[in-house]
Structure 1
Amino acid sequence: MKSQPDIYVFGAYNEVVTPEQCAVIPARCIDDLPSNTSGVVIIGLNNDAQDALLMQLHSSKQFGLWQIFVQQPTVLSSHLSDGLWSAVHELEQWHYHQQRLAMITGTAFDPMIAWLWLNPERRLLAKPQSDLSLLYRYPLLECYYSNSEAPYGYLQSQVSKGYLQPDKLIDKIRQCPACHSGHLNYLETCPACFSPDIEERISLHCFTCGHVSAQDNFIRRGQLECPNCLTQIRHIGVDYDRPLETFHCNGCKHAFVEATTKVRCLDCLTLNDINILIPRKIYTYQLGIQATHTIRYGQALAVPELTLNGKVDVGYFHSLLVWINKLAQRHQQSHLILGMHLPGLKDYAYRYGEVQMFSLTEQISERLNGLMRDTDICCQYRPDLMLLLMPMTSNSSLPVLQNKIVQLADVIEESEFSLEIYAWSLPDSSLNDDAPFWLQQCLQELNDNG
């Protein structure tokens, strides 16, 4: 490992670095950078030139193992660099970077994944772009992949494989189901013909004769007068009032109380109902445990499942919850669902190796099987989360169960092991027929704490 880095500078350089620390080498283009090593790049160009060079460095796929700094923030600097350069902590940052480099043993790693892994502070960031139909772009993704015009499918694939995981939710958008554009215009339309050419009309109600008509029909000689009984009306609430405001369609002449909201796509001009728009959540992303394991060990991490009695898959568990909830409502029964969360299981193999991880899961399986009854149903909902359905069990049994689980956790021969317990009871009127949504709401407590 080199004790000092070679620093390649594009443009102006504003800090003095002594020759004893490192060499400062001027560079005019990326061809001046050695491709068979790793170093430090500092960019001191104008805004457009700096962003163009950042894109070029990443798009070449040769400098993903480097540190890249800028001397002033620009539009893409937070997406494609390590931030502003400071020589104060330069050697410390360099040594840490070299230590991370030495841990890479895989040979066929993804260059973008390697860039993110080398600095835990790096993120795959989304940038709003109003001239794009998708509204957001991921500049780092664009540099490394040619299919980044449609990034959502790729990102979902990488999340499902464990190579990326959502970090922060930054926006929620909706897209046209016909062309997937996010350029949408929301219109108040006539519920009969869906024309946007509608007008709001205010009606008046005469208390004297009960006549109701448009306000324009009450205006006579500059004052309000009922067109039916000719009574002059002056005071609202005494002589008259305003009933519900109504709308009038200038196209089909239909009168109505409430307009229908439609959405017109500004790209393909399709008129859509709101409820068929495609919702998208825009996240920043960080590396998942599979990416870390692949880079360090050259292979994907296979998280072993717990071998438990009465185990069912997720789909069956969803159906079972709906059925047993209806049964509980009909016959006044009580059932209990326990959520057992092992928060450190995902990265346990990364820290201690797969052999020790398998040993841990075997211990947990053996102890939990001793806790379960023959009638209990278990579902490994996620690698780190098990759901246990305990029929004919009320909340009053929780203290006893908690005591047993504490005793179970105490005999696990692992100091790093921790187990979090959550409980929900049935029947629950909010469950209805959508068990996945109901469980998602229940598990929000777990996510908030995790």
Structure 2
Amino acid sequence: MTSHTGESKDAILIEEPASIDDLTHIWHMRGGLYLLPVIDLTGTVGEKADLDCSKLSAQDMPVVSQVIDDFHYRRAQVHLDFHTTQKDSDKILARLFVSGVSLSPHYSPNSKATVDFNIILDSPTVVTECEKLIESGFLQGKFFDRRHICNGCGGSQFNVREECAVCRSSNLTEDFYLHHFSCAYLGREADFREGEDLICPKCRKELLHFGSDYDKPGTLLICNACGHASSEVEIGFLCLNCQMDTDSESIRTGDIHSYDLTERASSYLRAGYAFLDFTDHNPMFADLPFTLIVELNQAARAWKENKTNFCLVNINYEHAHELEVEHGPRQTMQSRRQFIENLHGVLCRAYEGIRKEDFITGKYEDYMVLHGIAKEDILEDRREMIKIAMSSIRLDIGPYFKVLGPEELV
């Protein structure tokens, strides 16, 4: 694997079979190598390569020059900040820009996430970073598929199976219910069976004719491990990576998207880190949703010009992970939404000018930008606010506030 002429290099040539670890090593190397086209001479890299030369004839070789020239042209438009960055999120944006194509998923049985992408980076990192970039307004996603996610290791490779509701064993046997008409006895077929004959355990009469003596109204699943019998089956998800077994109510789901740059991302890549007042290279604001950054920009401008007070309230949920495992992500998210709705009502009664737009939902945290309200006021009343907003919610999501004032933000 060699690189051929940062700006003195033109492309990465794959001259022998390369693993995902080899390709990821290129991604993390300094000098902007991740911005170069990956040209595969072996035919083993698949969709992670920008060009598979193993399928080209001598007459097709001008295609190689065209790919290199296209990358060079677009790479020259990317601000130098991104040639030296070590942030995966910025690298993904810049790589999308210079490649000129969508970041597209495809099914991959060898991937822990069951999908892979046309980029030299592992798919769990791609999904995590790209979903954050959607929230930040740098990417737009198009739905590809929905996957189940292990609560233990985050993988998506499962044996999905019928299980006993009591002991979670998959060692189940199917049996029929038999209904004896004359005495109304209902029981398992095995309880009626005596050799080749069917004898009612209740009245001891022989059942001879199906439809007139008896019928089979349904099936029964018998657990061979604990003996539990039920007509209802449980669906379990056994992770093939960590062997954690999760029921269908508690299993997490996550959507897989293809990704494209937004206009905002293109402007950011051309202008560099100076594009934003609250930039993504500042760790304090790394994961803030784009709508929140807009609100903060407006509040910061009013503070600078008129000394109009404001504060940012970061709402965290201490028990969210445990509740997702026990009750599932849907119920946990519903509790978060109800808490925010209740909190809005509490603040409207306490302060003037509170708007729905002041409340911004994140993936794991929620936020409030409160205009004209001092940090000290929220800190003084926060426990009572949380208590009132939580009073009607069944699941204890454990909300708590982190409050920042303008001096810490501007």
**What TM-score, normalized to structure 2?**
0.54
DSSP 3-state at the match of 1:36: coil
SS at match of 1:185: strand
Measure, in 2, the Cα distance between the counterparts of 1:243 and 1:202.
8
Aligned to 2:119: 140
Q: Do the aligned residues in 2 keep the contact of 1:290 with 1:301 (CA within 8 Å)? A: no
State the distance in 1 between where 2:140 and 2:9 align.
Answer: 29
Please tell me the residue identity of whatever aligns with 1:264: L
Q: What's 2:5 paired with?
A: 34
Decide whether aligned partners of structure 1 residues 167 and 70 sit closer, same or farther in structure 2, where only a CA change above 3 A counts: farther
Q: Give the counterpart of 1:79 among 23, 48, 51.
A: 48
Q: Deviations over 1:243-294 (max 9, x none)?
A: 3322334444433322333333344443333222222222333334443222
Question: Aligned in 2, Cα 1:231/1:159: closer, same or farther, shift over 3 Å?
Answer: same
Over the matched positions of the two proteins, sequence identity in percent amounts to 19
Does structure 1 residue 209 correspond to structure 2 residue 188?
no
More helix by share: 2
* Superposed displacement of residue 296, structure 1: 1.0
Deviation at 1:230, TM superposition (A): 5.2
Q: Which residue of 2 aligns with 1:121?
A: 101
After superposition, the Cα gap between the structure-2 partners of 1:40 and 1:220, relative to the gap in structure 1 and judged at 3 Å, is: closer
One-letter amino acid of the structure 2 residue matched with residue 80 of structure 1: A
C-alpha distance in 1, partners of 2:227/2:175? 13
Question: Is the Cα–Cα contact under 8 Å of residues 161 and 290 in structure 1 kept in the other structure?
Answer: no
- Using the alignment, how far apart are the partners of 1:185 and 1:197 within structure 2? 14
Task: Give the C-alpha shift of residue 232 in structure 1.
Answer: 4.5
TM-score, normalised to structure 1, is 0.50
Partners in 2 of 1:150 and 1:54 — Cα distance? 14
Tell me how large the CA RMSD over aligned residues is.
Answer: 5.0
What amino acid does structure 2 have at the position aligned with 1:287? L
Partners in 2 of 1:67 and 1:141 — Cα distance? 10
Query: Residues 103 and 118 of structure 2 are in contact (CA less than 8 Å); yes or no, is this contact kept in structure 1?
Result: no
Alignment partner of 1:157 is 2:136: no
Contact 1:162/1:289 (<8 A) preserved: no
Helix, strand or coil for the counterpart of 1:200? strand
Contact 1:173 1:182 in 2 (8 A): yes
Distance 1:297 1:82, change over 3 A: farther
Written as runs of structure 1 = structure 2, the 5 A alignment for 1:390-405 is: none
Counterpart CA distance in 2 for 1:249 and 1:116 is 52
Q: CA deviation at 1:241?
A: 0.9
Q: What's the counterpart of residue 173 of structure 2?
A: 199
| Structure 1 Cα separation of the partners of residues 202 and 6 of structure 2 | 91
Question: How far has the Cα of 1:240 moved from its partner?
Answer: 1.2
The runs of 5 or more residues in structure 1 that have no matched partner are: 1-28, 308-312, 324-374, 383-432, 434-450
Matching residue within 163, 168, 181 for 2:155: 181
SS in 1 for 2:221: strand
Q: Which residue of 2 aligns with 1:244?
A: 218
In the alignment, which of 231, 245, 249 is matched to residue 257 of structure 1? 231
Q: Is the 8 A contact 2:173 2:223 kept in 1?
A: yes
Aligned mate of 2:81, from 102, 107, 119: 107
| CA apart distance, 1:68 | 4.2
Q: Verify the 8 A CA contact 2:102 2:258 in the aligned structure 1.
A: no
Which residue number corresponds to residue 382 of structure 2? none
Counterpart amino acid of 2:8? T
Q: Aligned to 2:178, what secondary structure does the other structure show?
A: strand
AA in 1 matched with 2:97: W
Report 1:344-363 matches (<5 A). Answer: none
Specify the code of the residue in structure 1 equivalent to 2:94: A
- Contact 1:249–1:255, Cα closer than 8 Å, also in 2: yes
Tell me how far apart the structure 1 counterparts of residues 46 and 172 of structure 2 sit (CA, whole Å): 48
Encode CA deviations 1:76-114: one digit per residue, 9 max, x unaligned.
342231456645667766665554344334434545533
CA distance in 2, matches of 1:104, 1:171: 31
1:328-354 deviation line (CA, Å, top 9, x unaligned)? xxxxxxxxxxxxxxxxxxxxxxxxxxx
